[in-house]
Structure 1
Amino acid sequence: MIETLHFEFGEIRIFKNFVVVVMKEGITVKPEYNNDLIAISEKYFNERPFGYITYRKNSYSVNPMVYIETSKIENLIGFAVVSSEGLKVSNLELEKRFLKKPLRHFINLDDAKDWINGLIEEGA
C-alpha cells in the first residue's frame, strides 16, 4: 500500500494498480465525490491505468449519477464491488446501467485485486 487518505465520506487506500475505497456507514455517495477520485487519479496514476475497488463493509446509498461521472475518468479501467454478504443482482444491474466501465462483483478483496491486476496486464 502506498498511502491511506481520509475524506468526509470514507477512506481511500492507494495501491500500485488500484484504489480500495471504504465508505462510512449511512452516507449517500454524491457525484461531487468524484472530484477527489479525479485528483487521486492524476496524482498517483498520472494517465496510467488503474482500478477502483469499493469494499462494502458498511451500509450506504449511492446516487447513480456518481457512475456517470466516474465513467469519465479515462485511465480508470475497471470497477470492482466487494461484498461478503453478496450483492443483490438488481443493485449490480442498476450500477452497470450507469457505469461505462467493466464492473464485477466479488465476495473477497483478493479476487477483486487479482481481477484489476489482470485487466492492467491485458492492457499492457
Structure 2
Amino acid sequence: MNKENAIKEYNLEVGKVTFYDNYLIIEVAEGVSFDYQKAKELSRLTNLHFEGRPFGYISHRINSYSIEATDYTKIKEVFPNLEAFAVVVFNRVQESSVRIENMFFEDGIMTFDDLITAEAWIREQLS
C-alpha cells in the first residue's frame, strides 16, 4: 500500500478506509458485521471523493469479520460507479467466502494474495 499517494484516510467504526485518486482500500475492523447499512454509510464517502467518477474498491481482509453476502445484489445501488472490485485474502476460508460472495455480485470479484497486485489490477481496470 503506497501511503504517499493516499488522498485521505478515515478511521471509522467499520474500519480504516484509505482513498486514492480513483480507488479505495478498506480494512474492515475485527468482528464487524459488514452489511447493506454499513455499505450505504461508506457510499457517502465514495460520493464525496469520487463525485460520480468510476472507482475501484479493494477489500484488504487482514481482520476477521462477517459479510452479508446477499447484500451484494444491491451493490450497484449503493456504489453505482463501482468499476472494479478486488479482495486481498490470507487463507482458504477467506477464498471460500469470496466464492460465495461472487454468487451474489454479477460483475465478479477478483481475488489476490497481496495488496500490491490488487492495486495494480485495479489501476489497470480503471485506465
Q: CA deviation at 1:41?
A: 2.1
Structure 1: 5+ residue stretches without partners: none
- Counterparts of 1:1-124 in structure 2, within 5 Å, are 1-72=6-77, 73-86=79-92, 88-121=94-127
Q: CA deviation at 1:96?
A: 0.7
Structure 2 residue matching 1:80: 3-state secondary structure: strand
Separation in 1 of the partners of 2:76 and 2:103? 11
Deviations 1:1-57 (A, max 9, x none): 011112211111111111100011112112101112221221111111101100000
* TM-score, length basis structure 1: 0.88
Q: Number of residues paired by the alignment?
A: 121
Separation in 2 of the partners of 1:53 and 1:19? 6
Structure 2: 5+ residue stretches without partners: 1-5
Q: CA deviation at 1:89?
A: 4.5
Q: CA deviation at 1:88?
A: 4.8
Structure 1 residue matching 2:18: 3-state secondary structure: strand
* TM-score, length basis structure 2: 0.86
CA RMSD of aligned residues (A): 1.6
